């Protein structure tokens, strides 16, 4: 099984004595490859923000889509409370998460106002259908959440008739005129095809045997239970 089908995000990552949330987050992120994001009209991949060509096609592991909250501190993720949508996970309300005192929040550089440390976030493991390259599309902006919402609607309509297949999506963008900021770009992810489940190649340097050995260790480090069987790529 390849790494995109093993992304273990079925519960919250909480700060505990002797627990390093940054190390745990890094391990989770590495299991799903680099993070894919949309920023200022561009699709960007990884820590170096490598530009991704518009129109690139990827396979989306919708059954491993995670929803929930990420708390940021000093520009880094400090706490994660995400779970699998397919397993019925329901994120907490914002007022249940704490950190409500705005005097303790970081200041947003753009607006100069206190910035809520909690971001509602959607994450979808993805892979290149030809090379097996792993990545995770992470979205917390209004436009990004909207794009994933539209993808979910399209996937939900076809899901029952496409058992044994996973959607191939195309990365695009759209724009609108914002009354304050002018031309504003938003991401678009469109289902353009379907691919047989299990047909995506393993990324170079991985194997089923390695995954079997590494998965229990990852679960032990994060302190989370296994989330059950997942869709295979």
Tokens (6 digits) for 79? 């706490």
Cα distance between residue 141 and residue 148, in whole Å: 11
Looking at residue 14, its pLDDT comes to 38
Q: Report the 10 Å Cβ neighbour count for 175.
A: 12
| Residue among 60, 219, 32, 76 nearest 150 (CA) | 60
Cα distance between residue 84 and residue 146, in whole Å: 18
Looking at residue 9, its pLDDT comes to 37
Q: What is the pLDDT along the chain (233 residues), one digit of tens a residue?
A: 343 333 333 333 334 444 454 544 554 444 567 899 999 999 999 989 999 999 999 999 999 999 999 999 988 899 999 999 999 999 999 999 999 999 999 988 878 899 999 999 999 999 999 999 999 999 999 999 999 999 999 999 999 999 999 999 999 999 999 888 889 999 999 999 999 988 888 877 655 444 433 333 333 223 333 333 344 56
Supply the angle between the helices 208-222 and 21-31 in degrees, to the nearest 10.
160
Burial 11-49 (b: 16+ CB within 10 A, else e): bbbeeeeeeebeebbeebbebbbbebbbeeeebbbeeee
Each residue of 88-110: pLDDT tens digit? 999 999 999 999 999 999 988 87
Q: Are strands 76-84 and 66-73 parallel, antiparallel or unpaired?
A: antiparallel
Task: Report if pTM > 0.85.
Answer: no
Task: List the beta bridge partners of residue 58.
Answer: 169
Domain ranges across the chain: 3-222
Contact 71, 118 (CB under 8 A): yes
Looking at residue 135, its pLDDT comes to 93
The residue whose two tokens read 């809520």 is 116
Cα distance between residue 210 and residue 2, in whole Å: 9
Each residue of 154-190: pLDDT tens digit? 999 999 999 999 999 999 999 999 888 889 999 999 9
Looking at residue 83, its pLDDT comes to 93
């Amino acid at each position: 099984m390849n790494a995109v089908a093993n992304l273990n995000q079925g519960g919250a990552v909480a700060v505990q004595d002797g627990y390093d949330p940054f190390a745990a987050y890094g391990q989770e992120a590495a299991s799903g490859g680099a993070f894919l994001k949309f920023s200022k009209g561009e699709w960007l991949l990884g820590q170096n923000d490598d530009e991704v060509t518009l129109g690139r096609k990827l396979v989306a592991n919708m059954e491993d889509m995670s929803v929930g909250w990420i708390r940021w501190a000093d520009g880094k993720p400090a706490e994660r409370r995400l779970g699998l949508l397919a397993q019925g996970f329901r994120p907490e309300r914002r007022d249940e998460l704490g950190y409500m005192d705005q005097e303790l929040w970081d200041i947003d550089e753009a607006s100069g106002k206190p910035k809520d440390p909690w971001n509602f976030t959607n994450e979808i493991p993805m892979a290149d259908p030809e090379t097996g390259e792993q990545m995770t599309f992470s979205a917390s902006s209004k436009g990004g959440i909207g794009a994933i919402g539209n993808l979910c609607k399209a996937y939900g309509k076809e899901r029952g008739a496409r058992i044994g297949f996973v959607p191939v999506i195309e990365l695009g963008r759209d724009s609108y005129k914002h009354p304050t900021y002018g031309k504003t770009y938003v991401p678009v992810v469109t289902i353009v095809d379907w691919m047989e489940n299990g047909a995506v190649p393993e990324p170079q340097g991985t194997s089923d045997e390695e995954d079997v050995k590494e998965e229990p260790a990852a679960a032990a480090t994060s302190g989370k239970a296994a989330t059950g069987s997942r869709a295979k790529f």
